[in-house]
């Protein structure tokens, strides 16, 4: 009976054990905004963390080791992040809804430790609404429906 009780006490410890694989030195109280995305082709994760010091861009590998990072001063507050895409291992494109007519694209270049901004006209027409936006195979996909479709 003692063996059963000891076994029942040890099972939760064994099943719930976790291993710390890495840390990022950022004070949680300083975080204003945060987003992350996964680069499936390179087994990398990119974190964009807005703090009072600026925008922290961090790239980690599959073992959560920071492989590249930089901080830039943030000029404006964009809060409507809806996706990302990439074309190689050092450049990532994030898409932010600036307003109903403009989408801002931020090109995050880890090789040059910079972020360039550009704007495009929102391709969603006035009679459409965005249902969902997601990234698959490092490309941004947007699902829309017309306003009269009943969705």
pLDDT for 8 equals: 62
pLDDT for 3 equals: 65
pLDDT for 13 equals: 59
pLDDT for 17 equals: 56
Q: Which residues of the chain have pLDDT under 50?
A: none
Q: What angle do CA 66, 70, 71 make, to 5 degrees?
A: 130
pLDDT for 145 equals: 86
Torsion of CA 139, 140, 143, 144, to 10 degrees: -140
Phi-psi region of 6 (alpha: psi -120 to 50; beta: other; left: phi over 0): alpha
How far is the C-alpha of 32 from the C-alpha of 121, rounded, in Å? 27
């Amino acid at each position: 009976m003692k063996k059963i009780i000891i076994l029942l006490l040890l099972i939760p410890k064994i099943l719930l054990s976790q291993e710390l694989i890495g840390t990022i030195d950022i004070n949680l109280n300083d975080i204003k905004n945060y987003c992350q995305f996964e680069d499936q082709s390179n087994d990398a994760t990119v974190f964009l963390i807005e703090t009072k010091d600026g925008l922290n861009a961090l790239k980690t590998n599959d073992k959560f080791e920071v492989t590249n990072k930089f901080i830039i001063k943030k000029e404006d507050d964009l809060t409507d992040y809806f996706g990302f895409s990439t074309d190689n291992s050092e450049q990532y494109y994030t898409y932010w809804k600036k307003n109903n007519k403009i989408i801002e694209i931020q090109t995050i270049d880890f090789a040059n430790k910079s972020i360039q901004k550009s704007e495009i006209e929102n391709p969603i027409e006035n009679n459409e609404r965005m249902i969902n936006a997601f990234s698959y195979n490092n490309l941004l996909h947007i699902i829309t429906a017309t306003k009269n479709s009943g969705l």
